Structure 1
Amino acid sequence: MVPGNNPDGRERRSFIEAARRSQIVESAIEVIAEAGYAQASTARIAERAGISRGLISYHFAGKEELIAQVLLTVFADVGAYMGPRVAAQVTAADQLRAYIQSNLEYMALYRSRVTALVEIIGSGALGEMGVDPVAAENEALGPLVEVLERGQAAGEFRRFDPLTMARAVRAVVDSVSPHASDPDLDLDACARELTTLFHLATRNTP
């Protein structure tokens, strides 16, 4: 075996590097949620993580790459939370309810993550990263459009344009996100109201 070429050593380094990157990302989320995107300097993030700025530069090419990883982390986390809860439902109506309810539940459980997401998107950082907002919206709405189309095909939902309804659902749910940091906001009550709203908006009545 060649000295210094130990697979176990490489695996350990990879694990440590992944853990450090995760620590930096979580610290960035906390700083952005507390201080805002504009004030979330790498120096401030490093201070929160208890590391040097140089260590951030070692793991990320710059703030843009770090913020991109924050977005990927939060979006993946939201998907991992909502996906199984929606998939566990049998009918399209129940899937729509689970989609809305689980999204609001996530906001209640992870307010800092949601606040950080709102800060980043509101700052215009997505455009700076070259993200096409139209393409991003279409990708995000795809699964919801499928649920609505399936509900119409099964006769559960009335006739409407699925994309327009999906945009309406997302617009209303997303309108709650900027208020997620308010500890007095009852997100459970919001979930009940919104699930009722879209049940009435989509149901197929004689």
Structure 2
Amino acid sequence: MAAAEVSARDTILAIAVEMIDADGEAALRMADIAERAGVAVALISHHFGSREGLVSEAQLFRFRRQPFLDAARIEAAVMAIDDLESFRGLLHELTRDVVGLQRSVLRMERVTEIAATHGRPELRGKLMDANREVTDSIQHAVALAQRVGFVRRDLDARALALFVQAYAMGFVLADLDPNRPDDEALATVIDAVTAGLYAS
């Protein structure tokens, strides 16, 4: 694929992601995307096959987005710090970011991305692949923290990666609770639950 074609494809995908972020999947119209991207609808069909194909790719991009950033942040920090207390401080900060109400939109996005696979077996298969990639990246960060002696080595790195994702995404239930505790109360519970994960 020529560089110009890759660029056009990326532009189309970025616009589709932006439109879904703003107004949901139902608002996505091929003609609107073509107009904003300055391309013909036929080019969108060439790259994505159909509206369904474009929606699938956009939903997969949205699904991967934040977890990859979080995993990269942990990896970079583990490589930059050399003591357990600094690592604890990093996770203290990250926990407060993850449980914060400012992430509620991202959590709900992930729920809608998973829901979008209902009745779409091909998209479900692709989402399973994307989820594996996300879990791989978090597992890699956990394994690195285990190698340098910050996290207990007797715990399965992939199980930890899945646990971290489960609690982070599970806070969508707190977002829907009219009596939601404040962010610090939620983060303090996570601190208590995860205290046993650190190497001694």
TM-score with structure 2 length normalisation?
A: 0.60
Contact in 2 for aligned 1:86/1:99 (Cα 8 Å): no
Indicate how the Cα distance of structure 1 residues 176 and 133 shifts in structure 2: closer, same or farther if over 3 A, else same. same
| Distance in 2 (alpha carbons) for counterparts of 1:79 and 1:198 | 17
* Matched ranges for 1:1-206 at <5 A: 21-32=13-24, 40-41=25-26, 44-46=27-29, 52=32, 54-55=34-35, 61=48, 62=53, 63-79=55-71, 84-85=76-77, 87-92=79-84, 94-95=86-87, 98-99=90-91, 101-106=93-98, 108=100, 109-124=102-117, 127-129=124-126, 131-132=128-129, 135-136=132-133, 137-151=135-149, 160-163=154-157, 164-180=159-175, 184=180, 186-204=182-200
Contact in 2 for aligned 1:145/1:166 (Cα 8 Å): no
May I ask how many residue pairs the two structures share in their alignment? 178
Q: Which has the larger radius of gyration?
A: 1
> Kindly, what percent of the aligned residue pairs are identical?
13
Secondary structure of the corresponding residue to residue 161 of structure 1? coil
Contact in 1 for aligned 2:16/2:33 (Cα 8 Å): no
- How much does 1:81 deviate? 5.3
Q: CA RMSD in A?
A: 4.3
- How much does 1:24 deviate? 3.3
Secondary structure of the corresponding residue to residue 160 of structure 1? coil
For each residue in 1:37-69, what CA deviation from the matched residue of structure 2 results, as whole angstroms up to 9, or x when unmatched?
A: xxx22xx145xxxx7255485556231122223
Alignment-mate amino acid for residue 150 of structure 1? V
Contact in 1 for aligned 2:151/2:199 (Cα 8 Å): yes
Indicate how the Cα distance of structure 1 residues 89 and 72 shifts in structure 2: closer, same or farther if over 3 A, else same. same
Q: Which runs of 5+ in 2 are unaligned?
A: none
Instruction: Single out whichever of 67-76 and 55-64 deviates more from structure 2.
Output: 55-64
